[in-house]
Structure 1
């Protein structure tokens, strides 16, 4: 047997001292020495050792069943006496009983427990380990972000996950340790709950943690952005300083990126607006006076150490060109790829990214959420449309709800509404007798909704993601992300579902009904050609009792736009007001008969006359053109909606 790259003796000593470790996991440790496991199912290894990292990934994906069983038993054994599990299991830790008695739930089911913890109740309601913070999700509930429990150990799990990305990228891209990454990373607003726990987005939590600040020193983890610029709470100052540092170190940059495609494009737009000032700073060797954050003013001059006329002239030459096609490769010539999430709702930005990239690969490395980190893209250089994620079996216990799919209807939806599989899948929505399958039992080509049981207090929780099985790496299934359940509009981290959109439109149309106007039909789409992107609503209006178009008062229509925005959830409003990552909402009024024309087009593409209903969100370019060709008035929200941290 090949020598184990891990210090097995030290790990086993820790292993034996933890009374919660189960017999199944002990047996797995003996069978697979490279999987010597710390409490929490985390292998211990040197993250600078790429060979060890790849060996761990191979072991994890080879022994999926054993690891998943160990994860489930570890979670149940730890938490059997929590209030939540005790109510179903009466203190027992039997795995079969867990799946028989503990229900599959959504956020509304567990929200009361989490709110109790937020208000100061004991963590033992749901977790034997102390809840150390609450992670705010981009999903919504009642207009507010969801709050997910997190523990100190979970930060180590995320760090372990991030470390595994390094050997995968090094396998496919040579020489990444010879330079730096220009990653544009930002923190979001956070609040303190009545309990004293911080409530903040998952990435803000990680960037502010000692795990991030003290990350293993290897060249792959060296960024052009000093930590102080990433942690700057003023997003404009943070963006400016990170771009400035990235430009000064342009010859060292081997990869560029942000978390989401939308954030990276926002950085390009920011660069378009500020390149002259950035050049001036580089030319003089001084940071602009409006950069007032003390930490930024302290660290940026260390990088912008002296005047550099040559570099400023080069950047000025490239940025003053009429076209910015390929600008990334021109400004950072050694760049090997752009790392951004371009799956799910971020796929709408691919063509724009390709325009700016100069032919660089678009790499989506990971699949994660506030609830849990899920999977890794083992083929990072694959085309965005071919990206699949391999679920890492020691992150959580995974179950999947089979989702039925009508392939014929799917084709019609893609052609007509451009909603892809959103309306083509018959999803299980009831809470009784929901059938799940284990991770190792999924079938190639089938669709599933993801359910997780985590180390942090979520049990059989429906994440809301619809996935399709595309293959296997060893014994670990690989999934393509299809869509979020019920989400129809998304620009950044916002996720607006059909119900929320309907409620917002219903409030806005009351302004018109009082004047004798009626809203006959509406639909929407996410316009991502502008930066930042924005929501567009198409409205067909009429006078009461007549079919002619009313005279439109721009003030009233602008008020309708603002009312819709004020009625959307807190994540949307934060993106609009605080982050400036979403532009003003737009209402385009179309002439009478437009939605009949849209229906005719859909029927011509194969939709059933009897089953046709107006799509509340469209992505088909042809359908959008039909609507746009009949627009008689365009109106924008004039004020950003109110938002305060909640």
Structure 2
């Protein structure tokens, strides 16, 4: 990282955070100068920079002349490098690999250029997590961590550069493999299980390792909440086999990966443990899995996973499986383009998570937005922002205001629109803290309506409360704008799980089935919670038809995840798309529909 120290521990790490956030403006200006010093002679920046200018002039020219861009603007340069042209098209250091974005939030996967020292920056952020956590949770050095990590089989560009997900890149790097094996890095999963390309075998072995060490696990989780819930679903299907492995001290023949077999057989061979197998069977064979996480890992102190943005959908399910006893901790904010920041108050309510952007990760700028502009399409406002006069620097954002994040990196992204909408919640020293709101380019639209991810999520969350009296849980949802008929209408796919409650808690209403009226009421509840324009189009203009909820079979959203993984998404980075754009995904969803329900009336609308 330009000769800067990579690994900080304990108080030293906390002091570095204090320094960075106190000197945020200077750190940002120095970082921009360093980026321009290295990259000003690239083909891309030469179009805007003045030859022979001073560094201060370079900074001024950059801010005045370099345009704000989206992926379509930088894509031709990235493709040229992928095809074998020199990295100097965009970067002063060699591009060593291309990082594949998940592609499930807003469309097709993107290739992001990365240089060797980018791994140093990611490791720097990872190394800040435990010093922050240790301020709030004690004794984490007295046990193990059960984190479920997965890699994705990598590809190559035409010129031979690796093309892989950002997490696969990190897990296969010397930074991860050579990490210090101190008391805070004692994980249940062997590296061989994490690095297995077969996600099912990897999941099996990581869960097996976690069960073997169930009494030592003090923290558990996955990168995204969706991956952790997938693991619980996998456990529901495979706990008998897992407990048999532990009982016999012999690994299931379904594990054929040589690395996994060697590592897990070594872990099992010391001795069979029938007592431990009985404990696991007694817990997993219960009728209700409410609180299963606490029962299987009784010493766990928190669950770590991304639960912001669209991942907040999974908070009720995680609380169900943990009885609400374990804090849900979201530690960091990152993307394929750049690692941005950390959560300095990790035990806060998950709906109040704010991230402090670390000013040494990238050069940040912000496009101001009003709250009702968060859905505005990327292409729709290019002329408006091309003058760059709208851009706000990191230390000049205002509390309560909404912004779209723009980043400049050493690897060749210059004033690149990330697509994330953030709201400023406060400051830590001189550095702002942000709440993640949504991705701007994920919308539903039939007519003049523009429903963004946040508004859709809020509406679905309001409607799902109607399921609670019937002991039903909304497991997952997605949507699409059905324009096959006139007028078009919103379709929401729901997967619903019925769970059991103790007999003493059961009343007449709770044992009633979910009849059509309940789901119709859910339809109207969603519509009532959508914005004024949608309700006007529905009620007054008649340009949008009644909203439809299609209930799908159990496991449908796992099949959807499998489909996207098969098409190139990573299990680590997978996020259920809240607006379906894939024909194959729509076909899968439609083939698993059990019942359809329509809004029974127009939503209220006031002119």
Aligned equivalent of 1:175: 139
Q: Residue 75 and residue 242 in structure 1: after superposition, are their counterparts in 2 closer, same or farther (change >3 A)?
A: same
Per-residue deviation, 1:140? 6.9
Query: In the alignment, what sits opposite 1:32?
Result: none
Deviation at 1:505, TM superposition (A): 5.3
Q: How does 1:17-416 map to 2 (within 5 A)?
A: 39=2, 42-45=4-7, 47=8, 49-91=9-51, 92=53, 93=55, 94-139=58-103, 144-305=108-269, 306-358=271-323, 359-406=325-372
Where 1:95 maps in the other structure, the secondary structure is helix
Q: Distance in 2 between matches of 1:364 and 1:249?
A: 24
Secondary structure of the structure 1 residue equivalent to 2:111: strand
Query: What SS class does the counterpart of residue 184 from structure 2 fall into?
Result: helix
Q: Is the contact made by 1:145 and 1:570 (CA closer than 8 Å) also made in structure 2?
A: no
- Taking a change above 3 Å as real, the CA distance of residues 75 and 63 of structure 1, as seen in their structure-2 partners, is same
Change (3 A) 1:148 1:528: farther
- TM norm structure 2: 0.76
Residue ranges of structure 1 left out of the alignment (5+ in a row): 1-37, 411-420, 490-494, 510-517, 532-537, 539-556, 610-646
3-state SS of 2:158 partner: coil
**Secondary structure of the corresponding residue to residue 315 of structure 1:** helix
Instruction: Tell me, yes or no, if the aligned pair for 2:479 and 2:490 is still in contact at 8 Å.
Output: no
CA shift, 1:234, in A, is 0.6
Q: Give me the whole-angstrom Cα distance separating, in 2, the residues matched to 1:320 and 1:106.
A: 51
SS in 2 for 1:221: coil
Task: Sort the Cα spacing of 1:264 and 1:101 in 2 relative to 1 into closer, same or farther, 3 A.
Answer: same
The change in CA–CA distance for 1:189 and 1:214 in structure 2 (over 3 A counts) is: same
- Give the Cα–Cα distance (whole angstroms) in 2 for the partners of residues 348 and 181 of structure 1: 25
What is the deviation of 1:522? 2.5
Q: Judging changes above 3 Å, is the alpha-carbon distance between structure 1 residues 579 and 88 closer, same or farther for their aligned structure 2 residues?
A: closer
Partner SS state of residue 401, structure 1: strand
Shift of 1:168: 0.3
The answer as to 2:386 corresponding to 1:432 is: yes
CA RMSD of aligned residues (A): 3.5
Mapped pair 1:527 → 2:487: no
CA distance in 2, matches of 1:152, 1:195: 18
Deviates more, 1:93-102 or 1:122-131: 93-102
- 1:504 deviates by 8.8
Query: Structure 2: where are the runs of 5+ without partners?
Result: 445-452, 457-477, 499-522, 524-551, 577-584
Contact kept in structure 1, 2:102 and 2:570, CA below 8 Å: no
Q: TM-score, normalised by structure 1?
A: 0.72
CA distance in 2, matches of 1:485, 1:74: 30
Contact 1:348 1:528 in 2 (8 A): no
| Structure 1 residue 588, shift from structure 2 partner | 7.5
Of the structure 1 ranges 580-589 and 456-465, higher mean CA displacement relative to structure 2 is found in 580-589
The 3-state SS of whatever aligns with 1:172 is: coil
Looking at structure 2, the residues matched to 465 and 208 of structure 1 have their Cα atoms a distance apart, in angstroms, of 28
- After TM superposition, give the deviation of residue 432 of structure 1 in Å: 2.5
Counterpart selection for 1:601 from 597, 600, 603: 603
Equivalent residue in structure 2 for 1:458, among 413, 421, 425:
413
Deviations 1:410-453 (A, max 9, x none): 9xxxxxxxxxx658999954352241010000001000000000
Q: Would the alpha carbon gap of residues 196 and 504 (structure 1) be closer, same or farther in structure 2, given more than 3 Å must change?
A: farther
Instruction: Report Cα offsets for 1:21-52 as digits up to 9, x if no partner.
Output: xxxxxxxxxxxxxxxxx517x4455x3x3011
Cα distance in 2, alignment partners of residues 271 and 570 from structure 1: 21
